[in-house]
Structure 1
Amino acid sequence: MSAGEGRAWSGQEGAEAFAAVEAATDWLLGYPFVFRALAGARQEGGVLLDFGCGPGRVADRAARVLGMRVIGVDASPDMLALAKEAGTPGAEYHLVEGGRVAALQDACADAAMCNHVMASLPHERTVLEVFTEIHRLLRPGAPFALLTTDPACAGIEYASLRVGEPGVTYAPGDPMPVRLRRTDGTWQSVRNHAWPVEGFPALLARVGFTGVTQHHPTPEEAVGVADPEHVRGRDWSAERLRPPLVVTAAVKG
């Protein structure tokens, strides 16, 4: 899940570290709601673009949930190598270079998702580059779902993550420390960038997206959306107090 300048998970070591992240909060309040936002694009032979696919775990689940063929793209060759090892049936993977995926033609995807890529981007221009390339690759009228953490939730320790420091307000692009729980129970620290979620609708509109909506999923809403065993697996007390993830949905105009 890295897509450009300022990547937080660069190199083989970074890719392997990201692959070991637990992502419990994301599997409760993030990815299942991204899949739900894209469910209307289901069609036989449909193509789902995963922009910033990382090690391919989310793409693999999306392919199974949505019944779509996945095209994963990432700026890290090491992430792409891990994604290919996942063995998702029918999936293909391509490198993002200079903000573009040269191997892919315009309007080649029926839906797109972009999960936690914004945090690796240090400048508004790089955010716009990502949105512009996703817009190019989608067919007209196709849906796009963007998953991000909310910097306004800085300092709260959730089941698998903590973004920012308590009491700190972050401006767009500000460096922001993030802690992520690993599958072995330890914590991984990484320096990311803050992108307040209220800024995304205007940026998406600038590159041609329409119908932008935003949603803060809650643990209560996760019942019937996320995996039932996962929902029951923890008390999710912090997630109930202030849900940290936002799904921004839009349509290619």
Structure 2
Amino acid sequence: MSDWSQGSGPSGGAPEGAAWSGHEGARAFAAVEAATDWLLGYPFVLRELAGHIGAGQVLVDYGCGPGKVADHAARVLGARVLGADTSPEMLDLARASATAVAEYHLVEDGRVTDLPDGCADAVMCNHVLASLPTEDALLGVFTEIRRLLRPDAPLVLLTTDPACSGTEYASLRIGEPGESYAPGDPVTVRLRRTDGSWQEMRNHAWPVGLHPALLERARFRDVVQHRPSVDEALAVAAPDLVAARPWSAERAAPPLVITTALAAR
């Protein structure tokens, strides 16, 4: 299996019964391709982290899912990576396959079990926010991530932009063509499986412009947002992935946003 198939899980803060929960949800996620994420998302997350974290330091992947990105990060960065997720089934998948990850922790009642305050030198959080039903739930995730981080340590957040709704990307479509979504509205996301078929899941539309104010409320500072482009990806993503498709939609309207912030003192 190529390094760029599958990705992080969107279940890090999701309530019971949400997308990807249970054995069926974990198995479904194992079949997701995530090519657009491996072009415009995860390589840029790792690039941001590389400027802040080194060998032996602690990186928490909040919402690690089956651990693909956490495992990749551990091998590329040399960090001591800890995975955290609300889904025991996702963590079982991760333990079985993401062998470079040092530890896995369950998120229960909004708190990562067995991890003390200020234990992390960095946190990444990939595609978790779309699974959350309320703005308070987003704030709760940011607050827990801030608890885990030492002062001045970075959070790197990867999200889709619901303003790109209806566009057919290589491995996803957010919402329906011609529709617009208010903050928190239910939105159906289509994800391409590794066999070429499509799977639908229910998410929530959270405009990326909401994130900075919520992060500041959760005691973060220096919030910066960046929308990676295909031209940038030529120097960052795996060459075989870049050459695999024309990426026409991704070039016209890149759908992913990287948000970085530092834990305030």
TM-score > 0.5 by shorter chain: yes
Aligned to 1:103: 114
Contact 2:84 2:105 in 1 (8 A): yes
**Identity value in percent:** 67
- Aligned equivalents of 1:240 and 1:152: distance in 2? 15
Q: Which of residues 42, 45, 55 is equivalent to 1:31?
A: 42
Q: What TM-score do the two structures reach when normalised by structure 2?
A: 0.93
- Pairwise CA distance, 1:4: 2.3
- Aligned equivalents of 2:184 and 2:257: distance in 1? 17
User: Which whole-Å deviations, capped at 9, do the CAs of 1:32-79 have from their partners, x for residues lacking one?
Assistant: 001111112222310110000000001011111111111100000000
Contact 1:48 1:71 in 2 (8 A): yes
Alignment size in residue pairs: 253
Indicate yes or no: 2:40 matched with 1:4.
no
- Aligned equivalents of 2:41 and 2:80: distance in 1? 21
Aligned to 1:189: 200
Report SS of the residue matched to 1:217: coil
- Aligned equivalents of 1:188 and 1:28: distance in 2? 20
Contact 1:131 1:207 in 2 (8 A): yes
Report SS of the residue matched to 1:147: strand
Partner AA of 1:157 in structure 2: E
- Pairwise CA distance, 1:90: 4.9
Larger CA deviation: 1-10 vs 207-216: 1-10
Report SS of the residue matched to 1:96: strand
Contact 1:112 1:143 in 2 (8 A): yes
- RMSD between aligned alpha carbons? 1.0
Q: Which of residues 146, 151, 156 is equivalent to 1:145?
A: 156
Q: Which of residues 199, 207, 211 is equivalent to 2:210?
A: 199
- Aligned equivalents of 1:21 and 1:125: distance in 2? 29
- Aligned equivalents of 2:98 and 2:44: distance in 1? 24
Q: Which of residues 5, 14, 20 is equivalent to 2:25?
A: 14
Aligned to 1:167: 178
Report SS of the residue matched to 2:137: helix
- Aligned equivalents of 1:30 and 1:252: distance in 2? 22
Aligned to 2:228: 217
User: Which whole-Å deviations, capped at 9, do the CAs of 1:196-236 have from their partners, x for residues lacking one?
Assistant: 00110000000111110111101100011111111111100
Structure 2: gaps spanning 5 or more residues: 1-8
Report SS of the residue matched to 2:51: helix
Structure 1: gaps spanning 5 or more residues: none
Contact 1:4 1:99 in 2 (8 A): no
Q: Which of residues 222, 237, 240 is equivalent to 2:248?
A: 237
Aligned to 1:85: 96
Contact 1:217 1:246 in 2 (8 A): yes
Contact 2:70 2:101 in 1 (8 A): no
- Aligned equivalents of 2:192 and 2:211: distance in 1? 27
Contact 2:167 2:174 in 1 (8 A): yes
- Aligned equivalents of 1:130 and 1:54: distance in 2? 15
- Aligned equivalents of 1:40 and 1:222: distance in 2? 17
Partner AA of 1:210 in structure 2: R
- Aligned equivalents of 2:18 and 2:47: distance in 1? 28
Partner AA of 2:14 in structure 1: G
Report SS of the residue matched to 2:141: helix
Partner AA of 2:58 in structure 1: V
